Structure 1
């Protein structure tokens, strides 16, 4: 029984103090990992691949969304089995380490993507592979929260982790902006802009950044439930692992509908949350007229706002419950995104003239404010449900639930880009996915105990 279980069972009002050293190392991994989403996916390399030097007619954006859809499909069919086998073998930290190093290598390899159409396939392949292995790393990373926080404090610990990630994103974005992106060449590192060498060097800096801040957790052996799992995953074949997964899903449907509907609803709205950051910079540059260099300044401001939202959301999470936090944030995101859709031209609102650039700054930052707490509370919600010795399996199912529909968002956006034209149509796709997740979230209530991870059928 974990600390959280003991507290719940005995009604102990004085829970064991949190291990600050372990939580710090755990949060530093998120601080370093922020370079993947902030620098590579959103504000630098994703925008770089979507630029016209890789081909006309939004070719870069379409290829990138297609590659992300393929990566999402792979994650959907493999993540829960990977988590399940890591749990059973007691190798959660080992696989976190392996996948972290794979991500670092793939990020660094993006240096070789030159601004020519012939390098587009290499670029989107590296980015999709990076996304794939980063998801596997996060699966094991997220499962660790069940070992370092009890149920009554999972909201704040999850918020600290997410907030640390956003703050790390601020620092790394500022670093690459002022040393490699801003100003006229030569830049601070003595690099010019021939063949976009300064942008490509961002990938090298990003890889080193992640490696440095991941090491404290990778070199530490925190108290986890891994060793207590006591079952060797090698005793199960791959086929048996999938059979076990299907039995688990049937068991949730029959005995724990709340967990089942949370996994289903979060699959949709979390994909919408990811799309806000994935396509935000592309929209800022391509639709609202933000300068490609200034988009990094927006990224820094956006991470500040998202971090504040995550910290505040963690506090509210522990007091009013994660469902209420998530519901409020998703509703707010739909409203703000809908408003932003109509603000790509100059408009007068309440006697104030808003340019597209000003609108993007105001409403884009509002989106960032609500994304942070929704992400943190979603992780805390599932962590309260997860039995510690099967947390990796449940977080793997969480990843699969998301990725099983994650192809829908890039596929929908690709379809909208083709059918409607113009990058503004990306906003429609995001609203549709968030709205669908919101409707399904109405079937969910706050967790009241561990998930009933029993198996049915397929005997």
Structure 2
């Protein structure tokens, strides 16, 4: 079906029908380097360094209070993402400025990351730190929508899986390389590089400048190497911002009517992706609380876990192209369930059990995430990549309470922290059950 003149109705041509016959390796590398660089925000800002600084530095007002305020700030950011991501993605498609908005959103995140340098460990600066982290999350998700939408541009139907896996794996490994730099260069030693110490939080604050520079530098290649999007989506009639919501509602109706597989997958993937996120969110907590890891051992395990996830994701991306993304996701989710149950039932084995089966969990998490992205890229109607990946972000945010809630309920019922593992496994199983009936096996 072709696009209806003047109606703005979406085309039903698959996005991969617009994919090039061949893509130079330099363009794929340039695209993957954005993932490598963007991991600075995930690994250094939101996971291991800056948020830990906010919640543990005494000057900010106490771990419990600040943790709650951080939670509320991130919840507000999540709400904005859920409301705005599909429309901003749609508008970048229809304006034919997908790469432009990737650049704008990326360098807003870079600027926000650099601004974290000014957050001193004093209560008066807490609001600034919370605001910057929340805003960074919003614009990072917007950038991610544009970045994911490029997947069909920089891959062919035969290479989509390996390209997606390459980018996701680069993100894991790049984040760990940067984490090693800032941890052993500034945070761990009493006197770090350039004479930086922990006085006034300077070790963490300088690390934010390093993280900003890292992202800013590695985001450049994709902006120079990948051409701007000029496909069918860029030829849709332009509408105003608020009118975009009306178009979005109409597009969702068309999507439900004509590409129902995409809608079903959005819901199924939202559930199992939240379970995957729970593996990393609670992995360090379980390592320390249930298996006796010291803080240093947790960081060492985190580094090993991300290396394993990165290598497996890059490798399994090749399998994605041979058998299709859905079998890869299903096998990965089953592997997560088996490894998670092993951690639960063999927890008395201590750290050895966690090292073996915890790393096994990480072996499957990355491939499931990457194949999820490649699956969606294969079923999105042409010209709708930004919009649908915006919905991908929205549905993920809409159910982001599942894994934390299931974790807390199981801990309460079982009376011990390791029972939370079952909560994560339950969410993964529900996602798997929702995924199995989705669509037919995709051609690849």
- TM-score of the pair, normalised by structure 1: 0.83
Work out the CA distance in 1 between the residues paired with 2:271 and 2:119. Answer: 32
Structure-2 residue corresponding to 1:442: 436
1:212 and 2:224 correspond: no
CA contact (8 A) 2:98 2:228 kept: no
Cα deviation digits, residues 356-408 of structure 1 (max 9, x gap): x4444333322221111011101110111123422111211222221222254
Q: What pairs up with 1:8-407 in 2 under 5 angstroms?
A: 16-51=21-56, 53=58, 58-115=64-121, 119-183=125-189, 185-222=190-227, 224-225=229-230, 229-231=234-236, 233=238, 236-341=239-344, 347=348, 354-355=349-350, 357-407=351-401
Judge which range, 103-112 or 428-437, deviates more: 428-437
CA contact (8 A) 2:22 2:156 kept: no
Work out the CA distance in 2 between the residues paired with 1:331 and 1:264. Answer: 19
Work out the CA distance in 1 between the residues paired with 2:289 and 2:51. Answer: 13
Judge which range, 431-440 or 308-317, deviates more: 431-440
Structure-1 residue corresponding to 2:9: none
Distance 1:57 1:424, change over 3 A: farther
Q: How many Å apart are 1:218 and its aligned residue? A: 2.1
Number of residue pairs matched? 431
Distance 1:212 1:164, change over 3 A: same
Judge which range, 118-127 or 297-306, deviates more: 118-127
Work out the CA distance in 2 between the residues paired with 1:118 and 1:415. Answer: 36
Judge which range, 217-226 or 165-174, deviates more: 217-226
Q: How many Å apart are 1:338 and its aligned residue? A: 4.0
CA contact (8 A) 1:173 1:299 kept: no
- TM-score of the pair, normalised by structure 2: 0.86
Q: How many Å apart are 1:101 and its aligned residue? A: 0.9
SS at match of 1:206: helix
CA contact (8 A) 1:67 1:124 kept: yes
Distance 1:388 1:360, change over 3 A: same
Please list every run of 5 or more consecutive structure 1 residues that lacks an aligned counterpart in the other structure.
8-14, 348-353, 451-459
Work out the CA distance in 2 between the residues paired with 1:62 and 1:341. Answer: 28
Work out the CA distance in 2 between the residues paired with 1:335 and 1:305. Answer: 17
